[in-house]
Amino acid sequence: MLTMRSGADDLTTRARIRDAAIVRFSERGFDGTSLRQIAQDAGVSPALILHHFGSKEGLRDVCDAHVVSTFLAERDGMTGADAARLMREALDSLEGRNVALDYLARMLLDDSAASDHLFDMFLASTREMLREQIAAGTMREQSDLEATAVYMTLYGLGPVILRRHLARAFGESTLTTSLLERSTIPVLELYTHGLYADDHLLVAAKEALARSSGPSSDKGENDPNQDPDPPR
């Protein structure tokens, strides 16, 4: 989770433009937002936006990088000794993160190369986090680290994109601190202990994947001259 509240050292013209763009993009999407609208919100001219960012696409790249870096900085802090305090602060500052969550939910689904790049930034960070945590001994070795990174990224972004349904399932109209408090332990239990009490399904899956069906025959299924099954 993240907050879009800029620090005192970040109140530059460039930062004001970036923050105004994040709000506009979160509300109307990239295609539905004009540079003129962003300029008006930031109190600057469209020409000044082009001076700082080169193009509307360049501005989006900066917005993406800012939202992702803020999100990931907070997540990475949770692995340290101060995790409990940071978790409490995150739970208590939900309202300040709504714009960033709206931004991610909209921009990840706009079916563009920029959307792909946005997802890939999260994926790259998740991949690196897995490597670091495995090396530190706080996470288990994975049979396919890349696949694990992809699914962990999807699991992490799913509640952002589907948060209306998440809230509805808990009887809320929007995300609330109490909803997140209720969710925190079950989610961490899932990651820490898993679900299954034994490895029956895992063993079955490995057995199924180890079986080879062999090359398919070009003869019909009921042809008496059907090729025999290859030896196993």
For the residues 80-92, what does the mean pLDDT come to? 86
DSSP string, 145-190: HHHHHHHHHHHHHHHHHTHHHHHHHTT-SS--HHHHHHHHHHHHHH
For the residues 155-172, what does the mean pLDDT come to? 95
Cα gap 209→36, rounded to integer Å: 56
Domains with residue ranges and CATH for the chain? 8-161 (1.10.357.10)
Distance of CA 38 to the CA centre of its chain: 26
Q: Residue 149: count other Cβ atoms within 10 Å of its Cβ.
A: 21
Residues 6+ apart with CB under 8 A from 115: 107, 108, 109
Place of tokens 């930062």: 15
Task: Check whether 83 has a pLDDT greater than 50.
Answer: yes
Asked if residues 103 and 146 have their Cβ atoms less than 8 Å apart, the reply is no
Which two tokens mark 117?
């790049």
**pTM for this structure?**
0.81
For the residues 160-164, what does the mean pLDDT come to? 94
pLDDT of residue 2: 40
